[in-house]
Amino acid sequence: MDLLVWTPAVAAAVLIPLAIYFLPAKTRIVIDTPTSTARAEVRPLWGIGAALITRALPRKLHGAPLPSFSDAQRVGHALITPGIIDVAYTAAKSLADLKPRVAKLELRLNLGDTSRTRVVQTAVQAVLAMAPAALRQNVVVSQAEETGAQITGEFQLIASPAQLNAIYGRLKSARATQEFRRRLNKKIKPDKRVPEVQVR
């Protein structure tokens, strides 16, 4: 009798978490560096389950601009990391391949140096030029008023947590991403050398 009682309970304890992880979920991903927001709101089982919220940034930063993205010199150095634009594009395309109901992403730049800003903008636009129209039309690259970089975006889609974790895992583990984060977290020392003065 005990076996008949415990077997269904054990099966449920195993199958329910698996179903939540592998079955489609109603998902909303929000990115907004001006308010230090990067979170995924997941409602498992096609939206029937209770909402699960995962944050990529500390809650204490919420509401204020992300400090590292407001430092034009530091974020500018990070954005020219070799391969980072390709890695970010691959992650965005993977989300786009899941046919989101809402998909929009905007990158605003003002790196305090016109040439560096132009280099990053050109690199992003070059990658987007080869992207599918559905993705290309939903990505905007523009000039920011304040110095630094601002990334805002939203994706609303039906996807399993397993699919989303796989996309995030590839992005996070990429060598370019790791180097990007290292540069972003490293404060650049100001150049204290005395500028050369040409005398005519």
Residue 92: predicted pLDDT: 93
Residues 6+ apart with CB under 8 A from 199: none
Residue in 123, 45, 40 with CA at minimum distance from that of residue 81: 123
CA dihedral 56, 57, 63, 66 (to 10 degrees): -110
The pLDDT tens digits of the residues spanning 60-106 come to: 888 899 999 999 999 999 999 999 999 999 999 999 999 999 999 99
Residues 6+ apart with CB under 8 A from 170: 90, 91, 94
Per-residue pLDDT of the chain (200 residues; tens, 9 = 90+): 454 545 555 555 556 666 667 789 999 999 999 999 999 999 998 888 888 898 988 888 888 999 999 999 999 999 999 999 999 999 999 999 999 999 999 999 999 889 999 999 999 999 999 899 988 999 999 999 999 999 999 999 999 999 999 999 999 999 999 999 999 988 766 555 444 434 33
d(CA 161, CA 25): 7
Residue 199: predicted pLDDT: 39
Give pTM, 2 decimals: 0.84
Return the residue matching tokens 């000039």: 143
Residue in 119, 134, 155 with CA at minimum distance from that of residue 38: 155
Q: Given the DSSP bridges, would you call strands 139-143 and 148-159 parallel, antiparallel or unpaired?
A: unpaired
